[in-house]
Structure 1
């Protein structure tokens, strides 16, 4: 199944290079009570990422955040503490704007809810992030740790 997701991802990236769509995404620096950070590893791309995804047409951005947290890591009712920043990414041929929230989970249980999309999900101490955490994810975590409000390039 992971092979199919990887192939579909490659096809999508090719379409994006041709059509250059404008998209809106959402991610969360999702924290537990001990300030561990939730990270996910997808089945179709390498690296560890903050949980999140695309905002659907007609969907409020914060509603997309809650939907994505439920879909990816089975977290319902996370409390949004603040907006970390709004970023712009031109990767994969897209014109992508990503809103990153800082949110707190009411529970410490974390699991990959979508077993087709996610290979792994886990809580990590900010000082012991897994090998393969993506550079953008490391930057967002660094901004959160510094108490900054970010923005600009992804």
Structure 2
């Protein structure tokens, strides 16, 4: 199944290179009651990331966030704390706008879609994994500093 996601990802990058679409994406900094942050490792990559994904046409950012968290990690019970920032990325040949939310939960999570997410983990902010994506590490820094960021990804 991971092969299917890798093939879809490669096809998407070809499409993005040709058409340069504008995309809207949501991600979440998910905190538990123990002060740990949740990170995911997707089947199509090796680095740890914040959970989330693309907003569908007609969806608000909050609706997209809740849908993506339920689809990826079966997270339904959450409280949105704040928007951490709005970022812009032109990587992967698309014009992507990413909204990062900080959320809190006391709910246990699990991998809801093993075709997309291969691993989840709760980490202390001062003991993040060495293979965390650089952008994820920067977003966590924005959060820890209490910043509202409007910047490139």
How high is the TM-score relative to the length of structure 2? 0.96
Unaligned runs of 5+ in 1: none
| 1:13-47 CA-partner distances (Å, limit 9, x unpaired) | 11101010000000011100112111000001221
Unaligned runs of 5+ in 2: none
- RMSD (CA atoms): 0.9
| 1:79-129 CA-partner distances (Å, limit 9, x unpaired) | 00100000000011000000000100132x221111110110111111111
| Residue of structure 2 in register with 1:2 after alignment | 2
Residue 132 (structure 1) aligned with residue 115 (structure 2)? no
Q: Distance in 2 between matches of 1:38 and 1:45?
A: 17
| Residue of structure 2 in register with 1:93 after alignment | 93
| Residue of structure 1 in register with 2:114 after alignment | 115
Asked if the contact 1:71–1:113 (Cα under 8 Å) also holds between the matched residues in 2, the reply is yes
| Residue of structure 1 in register with 2:143 after alignment | 144
| Residue of structure 2 in register with 1:17 after alignment | 17
| 1:119-152 CA-partner distances (Å, limit 9, x unpaired) | 1011111111112110000000011111111121
How high is the TM-score relative to the length of structure 1? 0.96
Runs of 4 or more off by more than 2 Å in structure 1? none
